[in-house]
Chains A and B, each alone.
Chain A
Amino acid sequence: MAGKGGVGKTTISAAFARMAAQAGLSALVVEMEGKHGLAAAFGAPALSYEDQEVAPGVRARTLTPDLALLEYLDEHGLKRISRRLTRTGTVDVVATAVPGIKDILVLGKVKQLEQRGDADLIILDAPAAGHAVTFLLSARALMDTVSAGPIRAQAEEVLAMLTDPARCRVMLVTLPEETPVNEAVETAFSLEDKVGVDLGPVVVNGLYPPVEGLDAEPAELPAVGGGPAELHPGEAEALRAAARFRLARHRLQDEQLARLAEALPLPQLHVPWLFTSEVGLEQVDHLAAALAASVEALQAVES
């Protein structure tokens, strides 16, 4: 899952995992960057480098370059000195000497999880947009720098995973707003051209659900029991203003959806805006249901 900061990538990752679980697949969500959003989305305690169940059918874990490197060093007989080298900053020197080595360690670990069959579906909550391209490009970048040896082999295997659509796809998450749409389009083309990775559907998050009847005049509507509605002072104005606001948002998001469709020939999955600023399993499941409905709608169009 890739996308600009603030578009709800982590929540969508969680919802996608729940959707997979509800379809009978075991899902593993991998969080990078040491954030805490994923645990919060599931209402689970903080995640660690070891995976843990966070909801029925869904496990989650963190995956940071530093710990992946330590694990790699441990597995290659350097356990005794690995911690000291991290502490003395030598690891930073190597990471600078070989750009992309940290990213390849993370992706290499993902590849290991995939090949070990740890889950039917692994969802990687990737770094924010621009970083996502660099992150996924690391395999190609490394192959330019390193001509032989284990790191080279690792990079080749990672690239094979990334470029095989049966094994890996990148899903972009965006919002129905101008800048997020622009960045999603840019990122999509960079990923396809530079990395050669296959793109799945674009997830458009935060869409106000359509509502009929917002253009009605409040004072002319009948009350629930029949007869004209009784309105408090100021109520008609408030209702009109709120309806105008909502309709304006609908217009804006329709424009952006059309713009996205025109610029990016990918199927779109639509996820509703939730009228709460809370995040928890209840909200995640609500989004998972919406995602599933959107997937079904796509399949209906295709068949």
Chain B
Amino acid sequence: MSHDASRDVSRHAVGSLPEEAEIIVCCGPGGVGKTTVAGALALRGAEAGRRTVVVTVDPARRLADALGLDTLPDTPHRIDGPWPGELWALMLDSRQTFDALVTKYAPGPDQAAAILANRFYRNIAGALSGTQEYMAIEKLYELHDEGEFDLVVVDTPPTRNALDFVDAPRRLTRFLDNRVFRLLMLPTRVGLRAVNVAAQTFLRTVSKAVGGQVVTDAMTFFQAFEGMEDGFRDRAQRALELLKHDATAFVLVASPRRDAVAEAEFFADKLAEADIAVRGLVVNRMHPRFAPPGSSPAADRERGPLWANLADLDALADAEEEHVAGLARRVGAAPVSRVPLLETDVHDLNGLAAVGRHLFAEPASARD
């Protein structure tokens, strides 16, 4: 396939990140190939001689397939290959990660057991929005903190509400700190009475609506959790600081379609609000350009289907490039990698390596 080398600005791309960063977070809208990009970045890290681990939150088995595994375990699993470094992979299990945190911060085994057995607690991992995001951050923090790896790569969950990844630790700790429930367990004091009365009214209504057991479970949970909030909050704070550290690189992944670009811009804005720079932009699934530079295939459209097809693809490449340019401006100085629409999905390490070649500054002639 011929490519227009003059437009190829991916020479420096996100190439150096797997060699320099300690943590890479792949974020972006759903369906753009975050998991594959995370896998390719991790593979590159191992090829650069680093001890690398990739954490996926994608329950579809794509990354497992690509790494030649049936399923990914929830603890790091080593993948052997002809690279000087190490490549490990694991699949995030939010519940187990949360359980481990509870066990770590509970003052004793009895309190840990009481929390782990509580029905309200068991709902948290599945039902409380933001929990999976927070657990991804927690796992990343843990893997980095233990020092077994030089590079941790993570792909972010396909969040229901666009992003809130960075906000997740704060949201969860606020939830665990819940004022209303703590007030309910305190003797009523003047000044707190208004809140307390409102909460009591509400809880009575809830009890009537969904059953008293639900409220009892929640109260029991918050009682059992009493005293652990500080530990949780401190750890969440440290995890958040790690996300904002220079050694952590956020890579924004998008596709060049208008809706995906709009969502990616939203992500970029949210990261900027959180004071986090996008260190690399990967635009996946770009249509190749076939028309020679300086030609205008649209003018020859009427000459027949071959020309009309060339004109269609050229117009598409133009439109995509325009969207990418807009997105690239939004993320400032971050390098941009363009990955073309590949003929097949990524099924093995060769496929990951092929994605990697587009990510990491291969000369245009080496492209397929």
Question: Contacts A128-B158, A245-B290, A277-B319 known; A93 to B181 CB distance under 8 Å?
Answer: yes
CB closest residue in chain A, given B130: A92
Q: Are B262 and A277 in contact (CB under 8 A)?
A: no
| Alpha-carbon separation in the docked complex, A5 to B30 (Å) | 5
Are the CB atoms of B175 and A92 closer together than 8 Å? yes
Check if B306 sits within 8 Å of A97, measured CB to CB: no
Q: Is the CB of A89 within 8 A of B178?
A: yes
Bound: A97/B123 CA distance, A: 7
**B259–A127 touching, CB < 8 Å:** no
Query: Quick check: which of A157-165, A194-202, A209-217 contacts chain B, the rest being far away?
Result: A209-217
Q: How far is the CA of A35 from the CA of B262 in the complex (A)?
A: 10
Chain B nearest CB, measured from A55 CB (Å): 18
Contact with B along A233-252 (1 / 0, CB 8 A): 11101110111111010001
Q: Which residue of B lies closest to A150 (CB)?
A: B209
**CA of A183 to CA of B260, assembled, Å:** 19
Number of A-B contacts (CB under 8 A): 208
Q: Mark B118-158, 1 if CB is under 8 A from A, else 0.
A: 00100110111000000000000000000000000000001
- A255 CB, min distance to chain B CBs, angstroms: 10
Q: A23-31, A80-88, A287-295: which one contacts chain B?
A: A80-88
Say yes or no: is A112 at the interface (Cβ < 8 Å to chain B): no
Bound CA–CA A98/B211 (angstroms): 10
The listed residue (B206, B210, B292) touching A235 by CB distance below 8 A is: B292
Interchain CA distance A89-B175 in the complex, whole Å: 7
A147: Cβ under 8 A from any B Cβ: yes
Pick out which of these stretches binds chain B: A45-53, A116-124, A221-229, A259-267. Answer: A221-229
A152 to B210, CA, bound (A): 7
Q: Please measure, in the bound complex, the distance between the C-alpha atom of A18 and the C-alpha atom of B251, giving whole angstroms.
A: 38
A81 adjacent to B201 (CB under 8 Å): yes
Q: Is the C-beta of B258 less than 8 angstroms from some C-beta in chain A?
A: yes
- Does residue B304 face the partner (Cβ distance < 8 Å to A)? yes
Residues 203-223 of B contacting A (Cβ, < 8 Å) = 205-206, 208-211, 214-215, 217-218
Q: Are B160 and A97 in contact (CB under 8 A)?
A: no
Question: How far is A36 from B259 in the complex, measured between Cα atoms in Å?
Answer: 9
Interface residues of A in 268-295 (CB under 8 A from B): 275-279
A288 CB, nearest partner CB in chain B, Å: 18
Contact status of A33 and B302, CB under 8 A, knowing A4-B31, A276-B316:
no
With CB as the reference atom, state the residue of chain A lying closest to B119.
A97
Closest-by-CB residue of A relative to B255 is A6
Asked if A40 is at the interface (CB within 8 A of a chain B CB), the reply is yes
Say yes or no: B31 contacts A96, CB within 8 Å: no
Hey, what's the 0/1 contact readout for B307-327 against A, CB within 8 Å counting as 1? 111101101100110010000
Interface majority SS (helix, strand, loop, mixed), chain B: helix
Query: Does A242 lie within 8 Å of B30, measured CB to CB?
Result: no
How far is B1's CA from A183's CA once the two chains are assembled, in angstroms? 30
A78-B202, A214-B306 given; A238·B290 CB < 8 A: yes
* B-chain residues with CB within 8 Å of residue A252 when the two chains form the complex: 343-344
Any B CB within 8 A of the CB of A99: yes
Chain A contacts for B158, CB-based, 8 A: 5, 128
* Inter-chain contacts of A89 with B (CB < 8 A): 174-175, 178-180
Which residue from A152, A180, A277 sits with its C-beta under 8 Å from B258? A277
Q: Is the CB of A221 within 8 A of B306?
A: yes
B2 touches A237 (CB 8 A): yes
> Do A277 and B316 touch (CB < 8 A)?
yes
Q: Which residues of A contact B329 (CB under 8 A)?
A: none
Q: Does B288 contact A (CB under 8 A)?
A: yes
CB pair A151 B209 closer than 8 Å: yes
| Beta-carbon contact of B345 and A36 below 8 Å | no
Known: A6-B29, A94-B206, A242-B313. A99 touches B126 (CB 8 A): yes
Q: Which residues of B contact A214 (CB under 8 A)?
A: 305-306, 309
Q: Flag if A232 contacts B257 (CB, 8 Å).
A: no
Pair A276/B62 contact, Cβ less than 8 Å = no
Q: Which residue of chain B lies nearest to A5 when distances are taken between CB atoms in the complex?
A: B30
Smallest distance from the beta carbon of B139 to chain A beta carbons, Å? 20
Instruction: Name the residue on A nearest B292 (C-beta).
Output: A234
Contact string, B94-132, partner A, CB cutoff 8 A, digits 1/0? Answer: 000000000000000000000000001001101110000
Closest Cβ–Cβ distance, residue B133 to chain A (whole Å): 14
Q: Encode A161-199 as 1/0 by CB contact (under 8 A) with B.
A: 000000000000000011110110000000000000000
For A78, the closest partner residue in chain B by CB is B205
A180 vs B306: C-alpha distance when bound (angstroms): 29
For A232, the chain B residues whose CB sits under 8 A away are: 292, 295
A276 neighbours in B (Cβ, 8 Å) = 315-316, 319
In the assembled complex, B224 has its CB within 8 A of some CB on chain A: no
In the complex, B256 has a CB within 8 A of chain A: yes
- In the bound complex, do residue B345 and residue A277 qualify as a contact, i.e. CB atoms below 8 Å apart? no
List the A side residues contacting B319 at CB < 8 Å.
276-278
Of residues 67 to 115 in A, which have CB atoms within 8 Å of B's CB atoms?
76, 78, 80-81, 84-85, 88-90, 92-101
Are A146 and B210 in contact (CB-based, < 8 A)?
Answer: yes
A3 → B minimal CB distance (Å)? 9
The CA of A11 and the CA of B205, in the complex, are separated in Å by 40
> Are B304 and A97 neighbours in the complex by a CB distance under 8 Å?
no
B189 beta carbon closer than 8 Å to chain A: no
Residues of B within 8 A of A211 (CB): 305, 308-309
30 pairs of residues in contact across A and B, judged by CB atoms under 8 Å: A5-B31, A5-B158, A6-B31, A10-B259, A36-B262, A78-B205, A81-B202, A90-B180, A90-B181, A93-B178, A93-B180, A93-B181, A94-B210, A98-B210, A99-B126, A99-B127, A128-B158, A146-B210, A146-B211, A178-B344, A216-B304, A235-B292, A238-B291, A238-B297, A239-B306, A241-B290, A245-B290, A277-B320, A278-B319, A279-B259
Given contacts A89-B179, A278-B319, 11 further A-B contacts (CB under 8 A): A6-B30, A85-B198, A150-B209, A178-B345, A182-B60, A212-B305, A213-B304, A234-B295, A238-B295, A245-B313, A276-B319
